[in-house]
Amino acid sequence: MAFLSSRRRRARISLELDDAALGRLLKSLQSTPNTGAIGTTDLYMAQISRLLNQSRADWDRRTHQVSVLAYRLSESHGPRAWATREPRNASALVLAAWAQLERGRSRGYLEDAVGIADSCRRAAELAPEDPTPWVVMLGLSRLERRSQPEVFGLWNEVLARDRWNREAYLSMLRYLGPEEMGSRSQVLDFVDAIRARIPTNAPCAATELTAQVLQYHSVLALGGVEALMARNHWSHTSATQALDRAAHTWAQPGFFHHAAALADLNLLAYALMAAERRAEARPVFEAINGTVAAWPWSVGGDPVSEFEKARSRSGTRV
């Protein structure tokens, strides 16, 4: 995989991770005027359509690409203009819906929840095999604090189309947490229920370790003495076992193949350093090769700075 290159590079945030084609598109879009004019929309249509058509047979990569584009274009007129011009284009509809959802998350309110849901339903009708409209509806249901039966129903719709969809598993994990509509015990029950079923190298393999990092962050957030002792979290049996399972395999060449593998390796490096397992973190940092995923490093401050400090403390040569 691309992230196993022997060439060292300076740490930087990379939304595309190891997706070179997506990275080139993001650079191109960065220089595109944010106007919604016909010429701009034509550029979106040509470039984004080409990329998403190439990944249509790979739902994991398609989900990653649409999620990154939606985040990057959440304040742009382009996705909505594209969907307006091509109302029977499933890619245009789902990108517009996801971009609106990202804008709602960042602003703390949704401008048009009904419109997002309608775009997703139309995209699902046009491309019934595509999980991404259901992923967006799952995210929408979380933001609207919908009931658990409804949310689990949407989750099952995603899984019926993409059994190990990373975005769906991580979305359910957060929905079931105490910060949203669940509790710590529900998170544990969810992780226990899925652990034995998920292949060790599946796109959603990081669900268990993500749950542990979220729990660690909840202790840090308490402040005071609790925060000072938060590192003790990693001595608990469940946390130790989750780290052991990941540390022994994830950074091995060829073990991971999914689009967000580098994000999961960032998660592992972060957790190993939090647990003071520096020697085990070194090969993970080497595999990451400077490609920084903002979360979870951003919890401690600037993610690139936090990454670089942790990499230095691990003894990894840059």
CATH numbers and ranges of domains, the chain: 1-17+205-318 (no CATH), 32-197 (1.25.40)
Euclidean distance between CA atoms 3 and 178, whole angstroms? 34
In this prediction, residue 7 has a pLDDT band, given cuts at 50, 70 and 90, of: low
Euclidean distance between CA atoms 192 and 194, whole angstroms? 6
**pLDDT value at position 30?**
82
In this prediction, residue 2 has a pLDDT band, given cuts at 50, 70 and 90, of: very low
Residue with token string 């990693």: 234
Residue with token string 């985040």: 71
Average pLDDT of the residues of the chain: 93
Residue with token string 């400090």: 309
The model's pTM is 0.93
Euclidean distance between CA atoms 97 and 238, whole angstroms? 38
In this prediction, residue 5 has a pLDDT band, given cuts at 50, 70 and 90, of: very low
Euclidean distance between CA atoms 12 and 244, whole angstroms? 27
Answer yes or no: is pLDDT of 8 > 80: no
